[in-house]
């Protein structure tokens, strides 16, 4: 009843004026007009006779959210104040001082300045602690991610004065930083896995993604790349046009990439408009249960055209198209208007008939059902069977994209100890401290990441320090569990040191060496017979 009352309010807020004329000609009312007349009356009654003064603005916002929840899981309302923030990850930039940071012991710790950004230009360094902002203390329990965003972000051209504590020096260093536009990269890493195989990790489909991808592809081609692994694991999607442009990179001209269709949205087909930049080399696309929307468009097109091999686990199954509609106060409704279909006609969207709560519990159900661990736990009826467009391989619809090669979740190192170390932030705390204390030593001893990667080992004394920190943070140390997780614990420590000393790409270069999905992708590419047999070429 509460939601219904709110429904009345919100609809009437937008239609009250237009209905006054319609109500005069009752003989020609449609069902919709009759409903709106009823709502208009209800709105009038609340506005004029309700016991208290109703906050109609707040009720309207709550009502819109409730209404959209009844439609589908992906229609969404964004209030005026949140519109800019919601678009930020896809637009690909924000305005601020340009640092990657983490809150470490109630203090803002600079993990790294954005290269060429405002902080980098004035000399702020990785490991610096921001303890004053415009003369006020910037540490303690008040320091949260929201606090940092509020005080360090701001319009381009505005100034902020930072008090920086560097190393063991007690005297603060003052920096005046002029805020500027800061790019948000959507590609986390692009490097060679071996002398022939390139790797690109795409985090989301943002406005800048194609420029980043083309630059990454050119870099890898210059290093003699012949085959490519495109990592879309955990990529929740983004802009449709970017998914189309990325798919275009792998396909020949005039091939269907995806089409959309809805009851009130005529069928719209998206095709390649030119030959792409990587149409001939071997291609492997990695997906998992976190790959959604635009990721599923790309992987579906690659699979349907037998262009490359998909490895991983069944994707999320988000195939609903949202179109933004501006509301009068500057807020936005992202309303679902159509569904995505792969070139063979497979609907990407999985069912949401049992409601949003059940829909978003899908991953838990998949895990309990064993889908993350055993490929034979996934059963598809014959009615969902489709044939790929070149070789006629069998693929399945029904929501999400099923890979050609299933790879289970790696549980070899999974222990309660390892989970607690992540949950309590021990890895980050230890590696930040280690790099701050040993930055000059690391540079003097190794000089470059390549030498660090080849020669650095996590020592027993480091593990002892790591154990002490873990126990201080409330982690119960279990030696038997440590032995089971030891190799991954050491790998994470090394990878995070590389990230803090260099950048995020170096983290991936370290940690992917033990990634079983990556190793399988490399095996498939290096075995031409297996690669061709999967694609039935």
Q: Which helix (H) or strand (E) holds 218?
A: helix 209-222
Give the pLDDT score at 33: 82
Helix (H, G, I), strand (E, B) or coil at 161: strand
Encode pLDDT of 58-92 as tens digits: 877 888 888 888 899 889 898 887 886 776 666 66
Choosing from 318, 331, 420, 506, which is the catalytic residue? 318
| Residues 427/496, Cβ–Cβ less than 8 Å | yes
Helical residues (DSSP H) of 2-55, grouped into ranges: 2-22, 31-49
Q: How confident is the model at residue 3 (pLDDT cuts 50, 70, 90)?
A: very low
Which has the higher per-residue pLDDT, 66 or 284? 284
Domains and CATH numbers, the chain: 2-71 (no CATH), 93-183 (2.30.42.10), 187-322+336-409 (3.90.226.10), 416-502 (no CATH)
Residue 365: active-site member: no
Question: What is the signed CA dihedral for 231, 232, 238, 239, rounded to 10 degrees?
Answer: 60
Choosing from 180, 231, 304, 404, which is the catalytic residue? 304
| Residues 315/289, Cβ–Cβ less than 8 Å | yes
Pairing assessment for the beta strands 320-326 and 309-312 based on DSSP bridges: unpaired
How far is residue 261's CA from residue 319's CA, in Å, rounded to a whole number? 11
Residue 410: active-site member: no
Choosing from 40, 112, 186, 293, which is the catalytic residue? 293
Give the pLDDT score at 371: 86
How far is residue 28's CA from residue 144's CA, in Å, rounded to a whole number? 58
Q: How far is CA 1 from the centre of its chain?
A: 36
Encode pLDDT of 372-406 as tens digits: 888 777 777 777 899 999 999 999 988 899 999 99
Encode pLDDT of 455-506 as tens digits: 999 999 999 999 999 999 999 999 999 999 999 999 999 999 998 888 889 9
| Residues 524/534, Cβ–Cβ less than 8 Å | yes
Whole-number Cα distances in Å, 127 to 107, 172, 294, 440: 11, 14, 36, 12
| Residues 501/439, Cβ–Cβ less than 8 Å | yes
CA nearest neighbour of 189 among 177, 201, 173, 176: 201
How far is residue 84's CA from residue 66's CA, in Å, rounded to a whole number? 22
Q: Is the pLDDT of residue 283 over 80?
A: yes
Q: Is the pLDDT of residue 12 over 60?
A: no
Encode pLDDT of 406-418 as tens digits: 999 998 888 999 9
Helix (H, G, I), strand (E, B) or coil at 385: strand
CA nearest neighbour of 212 among 233, 238, 178: 238
How far is residue 11's CA from residue 67's CA, in Å, rounded to a whole number? 10
DSSP 180-227: EEEE--SEEEEEESSSSEEEEEE--B-TTHHHHHHHHHHHHHHTT--E
Whole-number Cα distances in Å, 248 to 213, 216, 243, 258: 12, 16, 9, 11
Encode pLDDT of 357-380 as tens digits: 788 888 888 888 888 888 777 777
Give the pLDDT score at 92: 61
Owner of token pair 């929501």: 399
How far is residue 96's CA from residue 526's CA, in Å, rounded to a whole number? 45
Helix orientation angle between 240-248 and 209-222, rounded to the nearest 10 degrees:
20
pTM of the model: 0.82
Q: How far is CA 51 from the centre of its chain?
A: 46
**Considering only 116-120, 227-231, 247-251, 271-275, which range has the smallest mean pLDDT?**
116-120
Return all residues near 83 (Cβ < 8 A) that are at least 6 apart. Answer: 330, 331, 332
Helical residues (DSSP H) of 305-448, grouped into ranges: 356-360, 362-369, 416-423, 426-446
Task: Return mean pLDDT, the chain.
Answer: 88
Residue 451: active-site member: no
Q: Is the pLDDT of residue 527 over 80?
A: yes
Helix (H, G, I), strand (E, B) or coil at 455: helix
How far is residue 501's CA from residue 118's CA, in Å, rounded to a whole number? 20
> Tokens at residue 184, please?
């948000």
Which has the higher per-residue pLDDT, 107 or 269? 269
């Amino acid at each position: 009843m509460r939601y219904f009352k709110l429904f009345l309010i919100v609809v009437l807020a937008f239609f009250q004026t237009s209905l006054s004329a319609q109500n005069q000609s009752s003989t020609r009312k449609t069902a919709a007009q009759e409903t709106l007349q009823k709502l208009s009356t209800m709105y009038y009654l609340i506005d004029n006779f309700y016991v208290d003064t109703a906050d109609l603005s707040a009720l309207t916002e709550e009502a819109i959210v409730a209404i959209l929840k009844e439609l589908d899981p992906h229609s969404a309302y964004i209030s005026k104040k949140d519109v800019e923030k919601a678009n930020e990850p896809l637009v690909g930039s924000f305005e601020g001082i340009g640092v990657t940071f983490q809150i470490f012991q109630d203090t803002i710790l600079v993990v790294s300045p954005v290269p060429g950004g405002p902080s980098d230009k004035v000399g702020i360094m990785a490991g610096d602690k921001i303890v004053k902002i415009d003369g006020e203390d910037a540490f303690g329990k008040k320091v949260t991610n929201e606090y940092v965003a509020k005080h360090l972000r701001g319009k381009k051209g505005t100034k902020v004065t930072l008090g920086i504590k560097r190393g063991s020096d007690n005297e603060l260093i003052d920096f005046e930083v002029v805020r500027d536009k800061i790019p948000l990269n959507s590609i986390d890493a692009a490097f060679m896995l071996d002398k022939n195989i390139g790797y690109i990790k795409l985090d989301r489909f943002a406005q800048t993604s194609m420029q980043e991808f083309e630059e990454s592809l050119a870099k890898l081609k210059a290093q003699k790349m012949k085959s490519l692994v495109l990592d879309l694991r955990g990529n929740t999607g983004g802009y449709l046009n970017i998914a189309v442009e990325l798919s275009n990179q792998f396909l020949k001209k005039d091939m269907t990439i995806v089409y959309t269709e809805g009851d009130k949205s005529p069928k719209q087909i998206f095709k390649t408009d030119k030959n792409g930049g990587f149409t001939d080399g071997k291609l492997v696309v990695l997906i998992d249960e976190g790959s959604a929307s635009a990721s599923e468009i790309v992987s579906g097109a690659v699979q349907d055209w037998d262009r490359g091999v998909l490895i991983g686990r069944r994707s999320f199954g988000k195939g609903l198209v949202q179109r933004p509609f501006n509301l009068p106060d500057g807020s936005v409704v992202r309303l679902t208007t159509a569904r995505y279909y792969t070139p063979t006609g497979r609907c990407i969207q999985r069912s949401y008939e049992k409601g949003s709560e059940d829909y978003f519990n899908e991953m838990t159900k998949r895990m309990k059902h064993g889908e993350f661990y055993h490929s034979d736990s996934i059963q598809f009826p014959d009615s969902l069977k489709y044939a790929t467009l070149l070789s006629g391989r069998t693929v399945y619809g029904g929501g999400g994209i099923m890979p050609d090669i299933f790879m289970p979740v790696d549980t070899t190192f999974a222990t309660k100890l390892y989970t607690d170390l992540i949950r309590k932030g021990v890895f980050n705390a230890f590696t930040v401290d280690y790099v701050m204390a040993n930055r000059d030593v690391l540079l003097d001893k190794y000089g470059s990441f390549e030498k660090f990667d080849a020669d650095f080992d996590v020592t027993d004394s480091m593990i002892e320090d790591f154990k002490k920190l873990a126990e201080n943070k409330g982690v119960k140390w279990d030696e038997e569990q440590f032995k089971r997780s030891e190799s991954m614990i050491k790998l994470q420590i090394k990878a995070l040191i590389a990230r803090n000393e260099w950048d995020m790409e170096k983290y991936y270069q370290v940690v992917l060496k033990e990634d079983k999905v990556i190793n399988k992708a490399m095996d498939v590419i290096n075995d031409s017979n297996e690669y061709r047999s999967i694609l039935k070429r």
